[in-house]
């Protein structure tokens, strides 16, 4: 197991700087009042391809030797990693193959194609995804960039917390959604390296709470096909992310589907940002757990903004 | 007629700085490709109360003497000026009376009340609004802050273009929606003062195109109750704004209701910003008039983000 280090994070940040946005921090007095806390939202939905995963994807793509890069890259992903890898590959001018669940939001599929990526569809389960991917990758020979269980990806995601700590002083804790654990692992890596007094919490849908159960059990528990509106958070932890989660995460808190939808709508209203259901899980758990967050300075990583605007969860369709 | 000057703008900027956000500029490669132009969007939807009108409102409120301020402020407004004036008055701790059309979006009414403002409703026509307001203001004695025909308000709005020119070099033109003309007048004032080579265009709904017809006719034409989804743009020009519009605006371009809705949805998708229908009119006219905008560096003022999320124009309700 090759663990990324702090010097990998610094190297990643330099490598990806020309390709990413140092994203803005937004605040809302109304949300602060409602939460009884001081909340800072780092808007990764404003990354060019609309999600934090551009950080890890760019670090992997631009770190490849010319020879390795010539065969392109390949991955499987529930959405944002796919389109961010396609974006990164497009900027380097190399091929990109992605395996996506057929149920992934159309907006994400369109974006992959828009960036020049090639999509192969699979069933919406981890088992189908891995099986289909093996075939695709065997054919292309592209470099496999796992959506989160890859030290290059974790080092890339870690640059987000690095910026956050630089942009907002005296944070008590950082909070991000957890699916496979790439962003949380990067956050842990940064915090453990430069701000060990800052606590790291993760937020997860009740209906895909495998990371929470893993943390309680002390070992990885993986569900094959959980169902949640937070479509970015259905994947299980893997050994690299489990390392960081088990060592550095203070707690994983969960929210129901309705709580996620309510927090999503509230974020749109108060922050005036288009954000995905997955990004609303942190706000949902903040509002649900005042004993953990009240009175604190809380940094929330808003992970992405690629939404099917025709299928908003609070409107009829 | 007391016209605001450049030194009023500088004074306003200093006065309001503690109360407003120096808003971010967003760009989108996808929108640039679609428009054939280089577009910069200044996101006034990120102002604390969600609209550029906080600039003029804060300038008026914080410019009052203690004695004048003690009686509070009063206004009539189709929405954002009302809630921004309530926000400004709330920060100074003085009363604020607003007359709003009963048809104004509920989100805007709620915000006025949330900031501590008092609402009196009128019919959705200019004549009813002015009549009801006269009664309200006679009673409170508050300082009347007109939503746009007020030199303090125009000087405040002018600070937006001042920041924009500082944030983005070499703009060829600036474009904003036009209703009563406060933002456009402020933009003209700034541009005429410090960047006279930059052209100013305005964008207006076809169904409320009184400013365009005024410019063509060489005199103010006012409609009593135009109907458009761009609810912030229904009000007519007045003598102060007509001065700036008639002297400095290169052209006023219009878009249909469907073009506005399409541009609104496109903005949400590409910029990942929650913006009002009114703010989408500029993008609609850019896409419709490539002969004017193609190849240019275009600054677009995104005016506000207070939207009823339950009544989005592209969803059933």
Rounded to an integer, the average pLDDT of A266-287 is: 96
Contact assessment for residue A132 and residue A99, using Cβ atoms and an 8 Å cutoff: yes
Please answer yes or no on whether B274 and A275 come within 8 Å at the CB atom: no
Does the beta carbon of A253 lie under 8 angstroms from any beta carbon of chain B? no
Q: Could you tell me the pTM of the whole model? A: 0.94
The per-residue pLDDT for A315 is 81
CA within 13 Å, CB half, A32? 14
Chain A CB contacts of B314 under 8 Å are 309-310
Strand, helix or coil for residue A249: strand
What is the DSSP track for A69-82?
HHT-EEEE-SSHHH
**Model pLDDT for residues A221-274, shown as the tens digit of each residue:** 998 778 999 988 888 999 999 999 999 999 999 999 999 999 999 999 999 999
Interface list for A 102-141 with B (CB within 8 A): 107, 114
Nearest CB partner across the interface for B305, out of A272, A275, A317: A272
The per-residue pLDDT for A316 is 65
DSSP A97: E
Q: How far is CA B90 from CA A90, B34, B58, B99, B111, in A?
A: 49, 42, 10, 17, 12
Q: What percent of chain B has pLDDT over 90?
A: 85
**Model pLDDT for residues B217-254, shown as the tens digit of each residue:** 999 999 877 899 998 888 899 999 999 999 999 999 99
Q: Name the minimum distance, in Å, from the CA of B303 to any CA of chain A.
A: 12
**Model pLDDT for residues A17-34, shown as the tens digit of each residue:** 999 999 999 999 999 999
Chain B CB contacts of A107 under 8 Å are 269
Closest CA to A84 of A114, A63, A127: A114
Strand, helix or coil for residue B45: helix
Does the beta carbon of B2 lie under 8 angstroms from any beta carbon of chain A? no
Interface list for A 203-242 with B (CB within 8 A): none
CA distance A75 to A112: 12
Please answer yes or no on whether B48 and A26 come within 8 Å at the CB atom: no
Judged on CB neighbours under 10 Å (0-12, 13-18, 19+), A6 is middle
Handedness of CA B121, B125, B128, B131 (dihedral sign): positive
**Model pLDDT for residues B33-59, shown as the tens digit of each residue:** 999 999 999 999 999 999 999 999 999
Chain A CB contacts of B268 under 8 Å are 274, 309
The per-residue pLDDT for B317 is 53
Please answer yes or no on whether B317 and A315 come within 8 Å at the CB atom: yes
Please answer yes or no on whether A268 and B50 come within 8 Å at the CB atom: no
Q: How far is CA A277 from CA A51, A302, B116, B122, in A?
A: 13, 10, 32, 38
Closest-CA residue of A relative to B44 is A272
Closest-CA residue of A relative to B28 is A48
The per-residue pLDDT for A216 is 96
Does the beta carbon of A33 lie under 8 angstroms from any beta carbon of chain B? no
The per-residue pLDDT for B310 is 87
Closest-CA residue of B relative to A267 is B274
**Model pLDDT for residues A199-228, shown as the tens digit of each residue:** 999 999 999 999 999 999 999 999 877 899
Rounded to an integer, the average pLDDT of A84-99 is: 97
Please answer yes or no on whether A268 and B274 come within 8 Å at the CB atom: yes
* Mutation target vs A (from B114, B266, B274; most A CBs, 10 A cutoff): B274
Strands (E), A78-222: 96-101, 118-122, 143-144, 173-177, 199-205
**Predicted ipTM beyond 0.85:** yes
């Amino acid at each position: 197991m090759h663990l990324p280090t702090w010097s990998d994070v610094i190297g990643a940040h330099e490598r990806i700087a020309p390709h990413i946005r140092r994203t803005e921090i937004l605040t809302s007095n109304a949300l602060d009042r409602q939460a009884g806390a001081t909340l800072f939202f780092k808007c990764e939905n404003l990354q060019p391809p609309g999600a934090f995963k551009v950080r890890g994807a760019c670090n992997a793509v631009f770190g490849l030797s010319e020879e390795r890069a010539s065969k392109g890259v390949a991955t499987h992903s529930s959405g944002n990693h796919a389109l961010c890898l396609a974006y990164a590959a497009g900027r380097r001018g190399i091929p990109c193959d992605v395996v996506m669940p057929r149920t992934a939001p159309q907006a994400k599929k369109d974006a992959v194609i828009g960036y020049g990526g090639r999509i192969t569809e699979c069933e919406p389960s981890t088992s189908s995804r891995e099986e289909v991917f093996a075939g695709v990758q065997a054919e292309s020979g592209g470099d496999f960039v796992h959506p989160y269980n890859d030290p290059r990806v974790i080092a890339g995601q870690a640059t987000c917390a690095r910026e956050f700590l630089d942009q907002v002083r005296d944070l008590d804790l950082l909070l991000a959604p957890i699916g496979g654990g790439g962003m949380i692992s990067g956050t842990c890596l940064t915090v453990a390296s430069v701000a060990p007094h800052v606590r790291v919490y993760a937020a997860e849908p009740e209906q895909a709470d495998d990371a929470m159960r893993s943390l309680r059990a002390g070992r990885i528990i993986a569900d094959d096909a959980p169902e949640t509106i937070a479509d970015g958070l259905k994947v299980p932890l893997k050994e690299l992310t489990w390392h960081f989660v088990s060592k550095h995460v203070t707690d994983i808190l969960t929210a129901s589907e309705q709580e996620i939808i309510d927090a999503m709508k509230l974020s749109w209203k108060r922050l005036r940002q288009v954000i995905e259901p997955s990004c609303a899980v942190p706000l949902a758990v903040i509002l649900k757990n005042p004993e953990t967050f009240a009175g604190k300075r809380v940094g929330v990583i808003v992970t992405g903004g690629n939404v099917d605007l025709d299928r908003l969860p609070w409107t009829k369709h």
